[in-house]
Amino acid sequence: GTATLAGTPAAGSDGTYALTITAANGVSPNATQAFTLTVEEAGSPPGTDDTTYLPLVLSD
């Protein structure tokens, strides 16, 4: 299956957040993916860096 993580950050919540998503189907081991979410102040130009984006794939 697939899932979407979505939301609108509150004013003043810019910063860097560490997130970990865990998928479980009742059979060990669970699948986990850790990543960093960066929230920038509204109106900020997009940053340019060497961030690597990894796909998150959830399957049964």
* Run means of pLDDT, 10 residues per run, the chain, 60 residues: 80 90 88 88 69 66
Residue 3 · residue 55 · CB < 8 Å: no
Note whether residue 57 is domain-resident: no
Note whether residue 19 is domain-resident: yes
Q: How far is CA 10 from the centre of its chain?
A: 17
Note whether residue 30 is domain-resident: yes
Predicted confidence at residue 3, as pLDDT, reads 78
Note whether residue 27 is domain-resident: yes
Note whether residue 51 is domain-resident: no
Predicted confidence at residue 24, as pLDDT, reads 86
Predicted confidence at residue 54, as pLDDT, reads 67
Total domains in the chain come to: 1
Note whether residue 25 is domain-resident: yes
Print burial letters for 29-45: b (CB count within 10 Å at least 16), e (below 16). eeeeeeeeeeeeeeeee
Q: Domain limits at 36?
A: 14-41
Predicted confidence at residue 29, as pLDDT, reads 92
Predicted confidence at residue 9, as pLDDT, reads 85
Q: What span, in angstroms and rounded, lies between the C-alpha atoms of 50 and 53? A: 10
pTM, two decimals, is 0.56
